[in-house]
Structure 1
Amino acid sequence: MAILNQERHQTDELLCALAYGHLLLKEEEVSRQILKTLISQHPTSPSTEEALDLYERHVYAQQITGEGPAEIKKLKWELIEKYPHTRLARRSLEPLSQERDFPFGTLEAIAQEWIRKESENPLPHFYLATACNSHKQKIDIASIHIERATNLLLQDKLRLFNGPFGRQSDQYLPSAYLTGAELFLQLNNFAKALSSVKAAQALEEEIGHRSYELEGRIWEAISNLARAEQAYWVAWQRGSKEAEESLREIYERRHGSLAGFEDYVSKKNPTDTAGPARKKAAPSFSVTALDGKQIDLGTLRGKLVVLNFWFIDCAPCRVEIPRLNQLVREFKPRDKDIVFIAFALDKKEELQTFLRKQEFAYQIVAASEDLADKFGVSAFPTHIVLDREGRVEWKVAGEDEQTYEHLRRVIERELK
């Protein structure tokens, strides 16, 4: 690093390497100063884009907070505002489309330029509709773009732009239908809102709450409280606190008070709900954990089974481990009724080395690629909860505080 720092002619590639090198040496402030120089001298260089990407990934993986990450985020946003036609701007459109603090006009300019160049690519249409929805602007225009995006996804046009190894149409379609449902609801087009949310439910691989919570809002908007209640109940079953509040409001409107609500909601017949009446049986498995313990799903009947699919090089997987450890500690008094299993893709030796430095309170199973396939896991981390009969109760991919809270609420409800 010392030799590289002394180079008189510091190209954009060299500055990128220096910025990342100092990050690896845990010298975030030095890395940040080099990155600021790179942004100033080479604002549209691919090396600047790469350096920003490396910085953000490292900061996330190491959970670095404070003024450094905030300063780089501000500089990146300013860069995108100034140069909205760069590849950096295009690649940033997906996350920025949900950032309410980012200027809507810039998002619109990025998407429109992208559409001009790739009119049959569904993504810029999708992200523009998402931006309109997040900023509550041009909802009528957004509805046109989301229908365009959905039609292009249904025709599998995305493969022409993402290639065989990128995310494909079936991975975007549920979110596109949900975005459409939200937009049509704002336009009071209830027929399209309902058909869109039902399409999302039919296609989504995750067993989460969002689509049923939205369905409840649609039925409530047209004053069909019975169907709204059914949809909210499914969302509540899947960990939604917001759905529970909606159920309380409907119950109070019907009965004049909340007396008896807890008993009512816990005994509601699941076959009367808007959700699927039959849960799917989980794939059977018989494995050996790192500690030598045999784990067979058949012998776990009567227990709640919480699964985590992960691998060591997955930064979100590593970041969530402390939260998952806290979850295990929280339910320790009920350990006769619940078991936590983490299926890793890594080999036994790699996991043993990793776990010497990082505690993971789940039972760890190595080399679980085949099981990940059997459970239909396509993104990491993925969390799955199996009920006491070995059926899939809940399945969600991703790592954030909201996912953790929903998982905790599902476990609490199932253990009652």
Structure 2
Amino acid sequence: MKLKSFFSNIFSGLLLLLVILMFVNPSVKATMMQGLMKIGFFRPSLPKTTESAPLAADVSFDDGSGKEILLSSLKGKVVFLNFWATWCPPCRAEMPSLNTLYEKYRNDKNVIFLTVDTDGNYKKAKAFMQKHKYSLPLYVATSRIPGELLERSIPTTVILNKKGQIAFRHEGAADYSNAEFIKYFGEFIKK
């Protein structure tokens, strides 16, 4: 009986320590969320239709070298747009899945990926990407981001179809490397 109580106390102590670490260390929380993603949690809810909303408002982005890109100039391509920050545990948690999706489509001339650091600190975001060996193209916004693209929550992911219309929008962490999402994303490329 004492041995069972001893192990119960040890387990409770470790569980409490893990909960505390999740609140004070973004990396621990991100790692826990990544584990949950691998077992099927945090899948983005996919609309039953690929019908699209109105055209996205124009925004300009900088790629860190001073080269600006206008969202409106990307019509004719499917745009995968992700708003994130280095300090955000859910953003960190979904990064591996974003990178996996990007690697799958990086050579497709019909697809553009924009991962946008919402803090506007390109150097810090680039250091984070390099540290974790992510190959995602990194940008910062150089104009106001309209609410239909980003409200108050990060991460936020938006897909624009080839006409420049908002076809998908998801707030919160998600696993974008699961087969169901990859099939869904592929439908925009085919159109």
Please give the TM-score of this superposition, normalised by the length of structure 1: 0.36
1:283 aligns with 2:57: yes
Residues 6-405 of structure 1 mapped to structure 2, 5 A cutoff: 36=13, 53-57=19-23, 58=25, 59-63=28-32, 208-209=46-47, 235-237=48-50, 279-334=53-108, 336-346=109-119, 347-366=121-140, 370-371=144-145, 373=147, 375-401=149-175, 404-405=177-178
> How far apart are the structure 2 equivalents of 1:287 and 1:351?
14
Q: Please tell me the root mean square deviation across aligned C-alpha atoms, in Å.
A: 3.4
Match of 2:41 in 1: none
Deviations 1:182-228 (A, max 9, x none): xxxxxxxxxxxxxxxxxxxxxxxx9842xxxxxxxxxxxxxxxxxxx
Higher helix share: 1
Give 1:322 shift.
1.5
Give 1:35 shift.
6.2
Rg: which structure is higher? 1
> How far apart are the structure 2 equivalents of 1:384 and 1:64?
21
**Pair 309,407 (structure 1): closer, same or farther in 2 beyond 3 Å:** farther
> How far apart are the structure 1 equivalents of 2:187 and 2:71?
21
Deviations 1:329-380 (A, max 9, x none): 111341x111000111121232233233123333212257931645243222
Give 1:326 shift.
1.1
Report the residue type matching 1:338 in the other structure: V
1:415 aligns with 2:184: no
**Pair 379,285 (structure 1): closer, same or farther in 2 beyond 3 Å:** same
**Pair 294,359 (structure 1): closer, same or farther in 2 beyond 3 Å:** farther
Report the residue type matching 1:337 in the other structure: N
Give 1:60 shift.
3.1
Deviations 1:93-140 (A, max 9, x none): xxxxxxxxxxxxxxxxxxxxxxxxxxxxxxxxxxxxxxxxxxxxxxxx
Identity of aligned residues (%): 23
**Pair 298,236 (structure 1): closer, same or farther in 2 beyond 3 Å:** closer
Contact 2:99 2:134 in 1 (8 A): yes
Give 1:383 shift.
1.0
Report the residue type matching 1:305 in the other structure: V
Contact 1:285 1:297 in 2 (8 A): yes
Give 1:308 shift.
0.2
Report the residue type matching 1:339 in the other structure: I
> How far apart are the structure 1 equivalents of 2:83 and 2:174?
15
Unaligned runs of 5+ in 2: 1-8, 36-43
Contact 2:33 2:93 in 1 (8 A): no
Report the residue type matching 1:293 in the other structure: K
**Pair 372,321 (structure 1): closer, same or farther in 2 beyond 3 Å:** farther
Unaligned runs of 5+ in 1: 1-31, 40-47, 67-205, 210-234, 238-269, 271-277
Q: Which of 1 and 2 has higher RCO (CA within 8 Å, sep 6+)? A: 2
Contact 1:348 1:367 in 2 (8 A): no
**Pair 364,375 (structure 1): closer, same or farther in 2 beyond 3 Å:** same
Aligned pairs, number: 169
Contact 2:60 2:143 in 1 (8 A): no
SS in structure 2 at match of 1:413: helix
